[in-house]
Amino acid sequence: MLLRARGLSLTDKWQVARFLRRLSQRQQDGLPSHGALTVAQWLALEHQGDRSCRWLWYPLCIATMNTAPDQACARLFARVIRDSLLNPEPGAADLLIPSVTLGQLWPETIAKRVTARWGHVVKKITPVDQGVQIDGEAFDACVLATPPANTCRLLAPETQFAELCRALEAFDYRSIATCYVEVSEHFPLPAPLLMFDHGRFNSNPTPSPQSPSLNARAHWVFDRPAILNEPPKAQLAFVISDANNLNEPVRFGTCQVLGRAA
């Protein structure tokens, strides 16, 4: 896969291959033991070139962590690489694009398989010897699939969850912005998913009329009619994976398409 990659020289591919080999052989995520490194700092220490960062590592960081490389945690990114590119399990590095909407993929599918109590707001969860009580009703167990703030609200009255609640309250969030654009006629893109080339993913760029803030540029574009089994009328979805600092209209015209995702 690496040998067939476009946009990288043989030297770039050799550096990437050596880096992956070093990472696979090291313990503790392969990171230096001193200090907290960002992804950008770590890749520089590992002698990853500009093209490798621009066309492989930085996009992978943005896509998986929704955080700019000069802010993202290197240790966490190392785990991402190990769980994907270095994972021997079949399909570990596959990119799956659902052919239905997210609503059809998750909530609507689950709703067909479980008994749902629509409109019931859970107010209290109490662990007991034989399981758990939810609003006074006994169950063997429960799965708490709620946002951190809601989870804390439900667990805070139970003192044994105090440490967990403190950890949840310390969460920091990254925003993802999606802009759906309808066009009068559908001209299929070269691939269902394309990445825009912005050069190096800098989280603190200096904007100008010719080069607006990267935070206002889309990272990816999905060709929805080419993906969905029941597509809307001609529609493209432009996605900004790290949109925390988005404070101006999204711009598309200054971007160049770099490559495609299989």
pTM reported for the whole predicted model: 0.78
Q: What integer is the mean pLDDT of 62-78?
A: 92
- Answer for the pair 251, 215: CB distance below 8 angstroms, yes or no: no
Task: Convert the pLDDT of each residue in 186-216 to its tens digit.
Answer: 888 999 999 998 765 554 444 443 433 444 5
How high is the pLDDT of residue 61? 95
Q: Quick check: 226 pLDDT over 80?
A: yes
Q: Quick check: 255 pLDDT over 60?
A: no
- Which is nearest to 52 in space by CA: 17, 21, 79? 17
Task: Convert the pLDDT of each residue in 144-172 to its tens digit.
Answer: 989 999 999 999 999 999 999 999 999 88
Cα 61 to Cα 222: distance, rounded to the nearest angstrom = 19
Q: What integer is the mean pLDDT of 140-145?
A: 92
Cα 71 to Cα 40: distance, rounded to the nearest angstrom = 8
Tell which phi-psi region holds residue 139, choosing left (phi > 0), alpha (psi between -120 and 50) or beta. Answer: beta
How high is the pLDDT of residue 64? 94
How high is the pLDDT of residue 260? 39
**Mean pLDDT for the chain?**
83
User: What's the burial of 134, exposed, middle or buried (CB within 10 Å: 0-12/13-18/19+)?
Assistant: middle
What are the structural domain ranges in the chain?
10-83, 119-169, 177-260
CA distances to 188, 194, 213, 249 from 184, in Å: 13, 20, 29, 22
Q: Quick check: 246 pLDDT over 70?
A: yes
Q: What integer is the mean pLDDT of 162-183?
A: 90
Task: Convert the pLDDT of each residue in 12-30 to its tens digit.
Answer: 999 999 999 999 988 665 6
Percent of the chain having pLDDT more than 90? Answer: 57
Cα 74 to Cα 83: distance, rounded to the nearest angstrom = 14
